[in-house]
């Protein structure tokens, strides 16, 4: 087992997967724990909770994580709402591509992803930004 945290492994793989999407070109992809300058449009991948997979013994490296992908678009941009909705659809579509997500985890070599399940999508707006948060559960196992 490596020295990276399971949260870091999951955030890195999902962020890399989203960054590879041509439909998200121009969207800055950040991990939840990164300290960086935020520039819109942006997507933030945050692994908020991690627990053991139900019905499996603890301590074997099997995890079920809750991953939030936050998308923010400037409300001042031309066609802001249409662009934001297109980007949201691109994220939701990318997160349904389990084969590609599994491949990213294999390429990173730190864990194996078994499943990604969409849970909720919430929209909102701030003073000058449109926001969407999509929540997913991700089942992974660390190598023995």
Pairing of strands 42-52, 28-31: parallel
| Torsion angle defined by CA atoms of residues 33, 36, 121 and 12, in that order, rounded to the nearest 10 degrees | -50
Rounded Cα distance between 28 and 71, Å, is 10
pLDDT for the residue 35: 62
Domain annotation covers residue 40:
yes
First to last CA, the chain: 6
Q: How many CA atoms lie within 13 A of 81 on its CB side?
A: 3
- For the entire predicted model, the pTM comes to 0.90
Domain annotation covers residue 60:
yes
Domain that holds residue 50: 6-141
pLDDT for the residue 57: 67
Domain annotation covers residue 1:
no
pLDDT for the residue 92: 97
Rounded Cα distance between 124 and 122, Å, is 7
CATH of the domain at 70: 3.30.70.1700
What are the tens digits of pLDDT across the range 24-48? 999 999 998 666 677 889 999 999 9
Specify the number of domains making up the chain: 1
How many helices and strands, by DSSP H and E, does the chain display? 3, 5
Digit-by-digit pLDDT tens for the chain (144 residues) are 456 789 999 999 999 999 999 999 999 999 986 666 778 899 999 999 999 877 776 767 889 999 999 999 999 878 999 999 999 999 999 999 999 999 999 998 789 999 999 999 998 877 788 999 999 999 999 886
Domain annotation covers residue 93:
yes
């Amino acid at each position: 087992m490596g020295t990276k945290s399971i949260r870091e492994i999951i955030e890195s793989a999902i962020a890399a997967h989203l960054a590879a999407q041509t439909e998200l070109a121009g969207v800055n992809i950040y991990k939840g724990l990164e300290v960086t300058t935020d520039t819109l449009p942006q997507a933030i991948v945050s692994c908020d909770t991690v627990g053991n997979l139900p019905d499996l013994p603890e301590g074997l490296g099997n995890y079920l994580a809750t991953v939030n992908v936050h998308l923010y678009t400037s409300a001042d941009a031309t066609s802001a709402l249409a662009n934001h909705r297109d980007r949201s659809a691109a994220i939701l579509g990318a997160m349904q591509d389990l084969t590609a997500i599994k491949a990213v985890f294999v390429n990173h070599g730190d864990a194996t992803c078994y499943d990604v399940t969409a849970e909720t999508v919430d929209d909102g707006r701030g003073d000058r930004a449109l926001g969407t948060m999509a929540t997913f559960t991700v089942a992974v196992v660390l190598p023995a």
